[in-house]
Amino acid sequence: MFKKWSTFFNEMLSNRIMNRSTRTMNHYSPRHQQQGSSTHHDPSNLFIHQNDLLNSNSHSASEFADDMIFQIYQFLDWKFIFSVCARVSKRWYLKSLEIPYALDLSDHFKEGRSISATKKKFYFDSTELLTHFSKCRNVIRLTELNLKGCRVAYEGAVSIASSPFMRNLTFLNLQNNELGNEGIRLIVNSENSKKLKGLVLNENHFGYSGVLAIASSENLKLLQTLHLGQNNIESIGLTALCDSNSSVLKNLTSLDLSYNSVGSESDIQCLSQCQIFSNLKDLNLSGNRIHFNQVKFIASSPILKNLMSLDMSDNFVVPEGAQFISEGSFQNLQTLKLKRNNIQDEGVKYISESDKMKYLTWLDLGDNGIENTGISYLANNNTSQLKHLTALFLEKNYILTQGVSAIANSVHLSQHVRILNLAENFILQEGIKLLCERMKNLTWLNVKGCMIGNDGIEMLSQSENMKQLTFLDVSFNELGTPCAISLANSPILSHLKELLLSHNHVGFYGANAIATSPYLNLRRLEISGNCIGVEGEKLIRENLVNLEGFFVQERRSFDDDIDMLDELVDSSESESSFE
């Protein structure tokens, strides 16, 4: 086996792998694979016992210099490196430990999950799994770790904080893990936090003492991204953040304080005047019951003038608050999210005609009581300053065909908008026709609950302007089986990766058309609330082999063979190494 793989890598070198372009290199990089690729072999089987390999001889692969082995690794997927290359010899294994990698285990540490090692299966609870994981030498080059929703809790925090192999972490996502104040203290006071640049702690049931630990931790001096949303921070916790040692958190560029009851006048004044936030580029204050009178402190703050992204969704901004934002001190605001703020048409006018908003590329105005008049302000070719918008969210408003016409006939919107959400508006078939005729660069379209009918789907399927679509949501539109067949038989939609068809009237033959389509190569399909039956579901599972998410009959299904943690454990036990 060793000789076989040594020969294989010699052939790779003779084929000039080292001369591949940087683009190819990036394509096979660990980050690319982790973010964008479909994984049929879950990385979880790649971890725990590799002592035998450490004691092995180097065999013929030793003819390669260490730096050459390292360069070879740059062109390979990390899962291949640790499941195959690391088995070649001790030297190849040790070199694999120098490759930094990112790992997403979100929702994988679940109670009762089975772990396969060789051909046997074992059952561990999440605490045991994290204990094994944290003691695994193969995680020594782990730089990014996502443990969202993994039942970490206090016991898991102990394992992470005390691991001697997690000293290179630069990003850690612990969202929704019930850490509590004690768990937070363990994490932020651990030596393993010293290199962190990103820390996500949303939904962890901690309050003042947890925030105080964060604000006073000398280990977080490199931190740039801090997400604390949906906890119990409140005014006293915000004060602790603002009063923190100036050397701690001074490098923050992204801060999430959403849904933390920090919306009083004193809270917002404290935030707006705090010097440690002078480097912020991204601020999320959604769901904090902030009234329009408090919005002026944020908008006029010299501390926050460099914000590039501001999320004020689900507050009480109303038209007056929108006016404060439009007249504020922002110099380079590119993303503005004002969903559920009742800004109405008047607020849209303030935003659209403000010179301070001219750099916006992403605008979310969903659920704001906006009518056709408000849309006309956005679309006006003469007065609107929003010439660079590429993403526009207008769901759950009162937009009719006239409003869609304004969007479709607007020079700047029709040419630049790539992401468009019109869900739950009454745009009808006429609205879809306008979009198909005028919107030439859409890659993402949501027309859920827009009453577009069968004819609307036929237009979408045949419009050359829709050939770049990668996401399409047509749920809740009273669509029948012929619509599913039209979508499946459309070469126009060959780039579609995500299709949402839930709560329509699609039957078995519609499911069959989707499953056997020569054009569709879906990664995600939502078809719950239809009538495709067991056979339709079976056809989809058997034929759409690249599906990562499949929603059917009101439930979500995943391929049971894909289990990241399984592969992590299995690899270690079979002398593989992880990156």
CB contact at 8 A, 488 and 461 = no
pLDDT of residue 133: 82
> Is 340's pLDDT higher than 80?
yes
pLDDT single digits (tens) 52-77: 444 444 444 445 666 676 667 667 77
Looking at residue 291, the DSSP 8-state letter turns out to be B
pLDDT single digits (tens) 100-159: 788 888 876 654 444 444 444 545 566 777 888 888 887 888 899 999 998 899 999 999
Please give the CATH architecture assigned to the domain spanning 463-562: Alpha-Beta Horseshoe (3.80)
Distance separating alpha carbons of residues 474 and 451, to the nearest angstrom: 9
Supply φ then ψ for residue 356, to 5 degrees: -70, -15
| Alpha-carbon dihedral sign for residues 35, 37, 43, 44 | positive
Distance separating alpha carbons of residues 210 and 226, to the nearest angstrom: 13
Distance separating alpha carbons of residues 251 and 491, to the nearest angstrom: 49
> Is 2's pLDDT higher than 50?
no
Beta strands in 423-557 (DSSP E): 444-446, 471-473, 498-500, 524-526, 549-552, 555-557
Q: Where do the structural domains in the chain lie, given as residue ranges?
A: 1-139+565-579, 463-562
Q: Which residue has the tokens 């126009």?
A: 492
Categorize the per-residue pLDDT at 92 as very low, low, confident or very high, splitting at 50, 70 and 90: confident
pLDDT single digits (tens) 183-230: 999 999 999 999 999 999 999 999 999 999 999 999 999 999 999 999
pLDDT single digits (tens) 528-554: 999 999 999 999 999 998 888 787 764
pTM above 0.85, yes or no: no
Percentage of the chain modeled with pLDDT above 90: 68
> 85: left (phi > 0), else alpha (psi -120 to 50), else beta?
alpha
